[in-house]
């Protein structure tokens, strides 16, 4: 059995890739259940923006463990690699399934340079990488909590950030509830952001990264719900 690092460091497609059979099967099954149980719909310029092989960091708000699943099925057929907290990989079965789907770990509370380099390498190969810059679930509308790692990865990979916003996932398993609920879930794409934008030029590196991270989350929360 191949070590998990094989999946974290291999491209999702092309030479040396890891098999996408499970990921494709999982995405199809997840799309079916998402539409049946959550009446899931995705809106915006996803087809136009994601049709090319341009690398994007998918940046979104975070309320549920299912948020990455909705993002994955929204961008298919392109595979989406997701940064997930290290603790998520402590269970061997879950760790292997998540790695097969393209997730890879990051340690919270420290500068995890290995995870950042992995993400940058994926983006340089033309892959999509998903990040929740707020770092944990349930911080609705607080862009100041955005971690600067998204800016560092964007700079290393010369990748643009594509904001997405999710509605409804905060109701799936709200605090104090012992059971899951099945609300309508909606995802919408915003407009890409780039560190090459003139407003970031002339700033010190730390200030530039802080501002870009905040702007990414501002862009997420400024996306209007589709009618």
- Residue 124: inside a domain, yes or no? yes
Number of domains the chain is built from: 1
- Residue 227: inside a domain, yes or no? no
Residue 123 has φ and ψ, to the nearest 5°, of: -65, -40
Helices (H), 125-201: 149-157
Range of the domain at 16: 4-222
How are beta strands 128-131 and 80-85 bridged, if at all?
A: parallel
Dig out the tokens for 167 from the structure.
């509605």
Q: What percent of the residues of the chain are helix, what percent strand, and what percent coil, each to the nearest 5?
A: 45, 15, 40
Q: Which pLDDT tens digit goes with each residue over 154-166?
A: 999 999 999 999 9
- Residue 172: inside a domain, yes or no? yes
Residue 22: pLDDT band (50, 70, 90) is confident
**If you average pLDDT over residues 23-31, what whole number do you get?**
88
Residue 53: pLDDT band (50, 70, 90) is confident
**If you average pLDDT over residues 162-189, what whole number do you get?**
91
Q: Which pLDDT tens digit goes with each residue over 121-174?
A: 999 998 999 999 886 655 555 555 678 889 999 999 999 999 999 999 999 988
pLDDT value at position 163? 95
Element (H, E) at 166: strand 160-167
- Residue 207: inside a domain, yes or no? yes
- Residue 9: inside a domain, yes or no? yes
Element (H, E) at 80: strand 80-85
Q: What is the pTM of this model?
A: 0.90
Q: Give the CATH number for residue 202.
A: 3.40.1130.10
């Amino acid at each position: 059995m191949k070590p998990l690092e094989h999946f974290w460091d291999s491209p999702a497609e092309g030479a040396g890739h890891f098999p996408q059979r499970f990921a494709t099967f999982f995405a199809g099954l997840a799309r079916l259940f998402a539409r049946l149980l959550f009446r899931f719909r995705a809106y915006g310029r996803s087809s136009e923006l994601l049709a090319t092989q341009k690398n994007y960091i998918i940046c979104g708000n975070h309320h549920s463990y299912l948020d990455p699943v909705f993002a994955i099925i929204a961008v298919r057929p392109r595979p989406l690699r997701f940064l997930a907290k290290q603790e998520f990989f402590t269970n061997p079965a879950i760790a292997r399934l998540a790695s097969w789907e393209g997730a890879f770990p990051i340690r919270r509370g420290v500068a995890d340079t290995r995870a950042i380099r992995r993400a940058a390498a994926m983006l340089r190969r033309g892959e999509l990488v998903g990040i929740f810059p707020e770092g944990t679930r349930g911080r609705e509308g607080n862009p100041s909590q955005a971690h600067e790692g998204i800016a560092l990865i964007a700079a290393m990979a010369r990748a643009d950030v594509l904001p997405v916003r999710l509605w409804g996932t905060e109701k799936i398993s709200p605090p104090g509830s012992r059971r899951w609920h099945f609300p309508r879930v909606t995802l919408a794409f915003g407009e890409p952001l780039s560190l090459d934008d003139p407003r970031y030029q002339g700033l010190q590196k730390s200030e530039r990264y802080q501002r870009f991270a905040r702007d990414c989350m501002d862009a997420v929360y400024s996306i209007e719900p589709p009618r």
